């Protein structure tokens, strides 16, 4: 779906990641000081903290690029630019 007709699908992806990232980050911060989940293998790597930050950043990026009304540099626009090269002949 294109912005002209409504929110881009990537905007919803951005919302989802921007909500999930901080939840995961907050849930894993207590584990930085003391072991909260000894049954989790490689807990010392604090994967939850890094993954939470990564998802938050990705969510923010998607929201920035696909905010409603924003037209330039959006993936949909880029797609449509590529895709609008009509083929010659029928169709």
Q: List contacts with other proteins (CB under 8 A).
A: 1-2, 5-7, 9, 12-13, 15-17, 19-20, 23-28, 31, 36-37, 39-43, 45, 47-48, 51-52, 55, 75-76, 79-80, 82-91
Q: Among all chains, which residue has been given the structure tokens 């797609």?
A: 79
CB of 36 to other proteins, least distance (A): 7
CB of 14 to other proteins, least distance (A): 10
* Residue from 78, 58, 68 nearest 14 by CA: 58
Please list, in sequence order, all residues whose beta carbon lies within 8 angstroms of the beta carbon of residue 2, skipping any fewer than 6 positions away.
Answer: 8, 76, 77, 80
> What is the rounded distance in angstroms from the CA atom of residue 11 to the CA atom of residue 74?
10
CB of 85 to other proteins, least distance (A): 6
């Amino acid at each position: 779906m294109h912005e002209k007709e409504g929110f881009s699908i990537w905007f919803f992806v951005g919302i989802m990641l921007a909500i999930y990232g901080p939840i995961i980050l907050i849930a894993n911060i207590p584990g930085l000081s003391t072991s909260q989940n000894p049954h989790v293998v490689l807990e010392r790597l604090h994967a939850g903290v890094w993954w939470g930050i990564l998802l938050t950043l990705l969510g923010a990026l998607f929201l920035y690029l696909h905010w409603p009304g924003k037209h330039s540099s959006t993936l949909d626009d880029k797609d449509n630019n590529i895709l609008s090269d009509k083929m010659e002949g029928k169709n």
